[in-house]
Structure 1
């Protein structure tokens, strides 16, 4: 669970009297991303998270390392690690957290907890 000690959320104004909470990394996700960024040897890298059309439920997540930040991107930082979200994806990712699970029945990997998901496909690769 994300706590105030892990990161600070600042509301993103999108329209008059409307604010969104940006997507954030948990401390576990920030630690793993930091480890992977260190292995790449480029301290300017951050994790870019976006939502793209696709899959049987309508949308898929895309995550990759990126050092380019556009002026319209929303960048949050947890434990010194950047999460970069393009402006268009910000609405679909509002209030989301990216976590990292190490092992267990489902294996290790990143998991996105998105309160905006209304449905997901059976394989878990897309949402709507």
Structure 2
């Protein structure tokens, strides 16, 4: 019997594997700062998917102090992340991050389910197919 037959999983690795969505250390710092200034008690970051953008789907994020029926709630690095049931399949395994560049900064989603994305990084497709009918066009629309 080899070690490959019986992989060893540390508690930290098992916890990370169990989380359907995570947030980077820098993303968590930025989110905590924004949440602290929101004035909303027990608020979290709602991460969701909506139709639109040049690739078919767009990411959305909002500060939310409501927990809706069917929500998946994940606590990671001190931040509460809320994902609605419809968005969950498209976001599973994703990491929320915060990036800064010459154009400013903002939250982004590193999504292993995206098979393609547009240049702006706010729109993506999961199956290589064209955008849903009536969707598409310019980035961020």
Q: TM-score, normalised by structure 2?
A: 0.71
Change (3 A) 1:74 1:56: same
Change (3 A) 1:9 1:69: farther
5+ unaligned residues in a row in structure 1: which ranges? 12-20
Any residues of structure 2 matched to 1:30-109 within 5 Å, and which?
30-101=28-99, 103-105=100-102, 107-109=104-106
5+ unaligned residues in a row in structure 2: which ranges? 1-11, 126-141
CA distance in 2, matches of 1:74, 1:110: 20
Structural RMSD (CA): 1.9
Displacement, 1:62? Answer: 0.7
Aligned length: 113
1:118 aligns to 2:115 (yes or no): yes
SS of structure 1 residue aligned to 2:109? strand
**Which structure features the higher share of helix residues?**
2
